[in-house]
């Protein structure tokens, strides 16, 4: 198996397995990974537009809109009036902040479990490699 074919295949397999296992863990706090991504983004960057979120997550705006609507139904986010009425700005509610804190613990524990047995220098190399590859994809 060549490097390119092996990398592609293993990356897809890892991505699917990672998302599935992450969803199993996030179920403890009644979230899915797509919802967690938005909750995490809002916790880090504060009040934002759907365009800002979709750009950061590199997903289509309708996908973000569906997830945001669900988070709104769960009362984890709320709309905030913007300068332009066409612009939809959202932020975490108090309940959303509490859910973020709970989910953050779940995700950190999941990451620690996943990375256990991997030497610290390998963890750092893995993170550097992921960041490098993500940046290359943006070019």
The CA-based angle 7-11-17, given to 5 degrees, is: 150
The pLDDT score that the predictor gives to residue 86 is 78
The pLDDT score that the predictor gives to residue 4 is 58
Q: How confident is the model at residue 3 (pLDDT cuts 50, 70, 90)?
A: low
Query: Using N-to-C axis directions, what is the helix angle for 50-57 and 33-45, rounded to 10°?
Result: 110
Q: How confident is the model at residue 42 (pLDDT cuts 50, 70, 90)?
A: very high
CA distance 77 to 88: 12
Q: Whole-prediction pTM value? A: 0.88
Mean predicted lDDT score pLDDT of the chain: 92
What average pLDDT score do residues 94-102 get?
Answer: 98
Is 107 within 8 Å of 36 (Cβ atoms)? yes
């Amino acid at each position: 198996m060549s490097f390119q074919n092996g990398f592609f295949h293993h990356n897809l397999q890892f991505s699917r397995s990672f998302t599935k296992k992450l969803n199993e863990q996030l179920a403890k706090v009644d979230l899915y990974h797509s919802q967690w991504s938005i909750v995490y983004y809002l916790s880090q960057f504060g009040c934002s537009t759907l365009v800002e979120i979709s750009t950061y997550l590199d997903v289509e705006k309708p996908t973000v809109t569906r997830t945001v609507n669900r988070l709104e139904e769960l009362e984890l986010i709320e709309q905030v009036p913007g300068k332009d009425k066409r612009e939809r700005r959202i932020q975490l509610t108090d309940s959303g902040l509490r859910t973020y804190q709970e989910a953050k613990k779940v995700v950190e524990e999941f990451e620690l479990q996943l990375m256990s047995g991997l030497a610290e220098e390998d963890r750092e190399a893995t993170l550097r490699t992921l960041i490098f590859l993500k940046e290359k994809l943006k070019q």
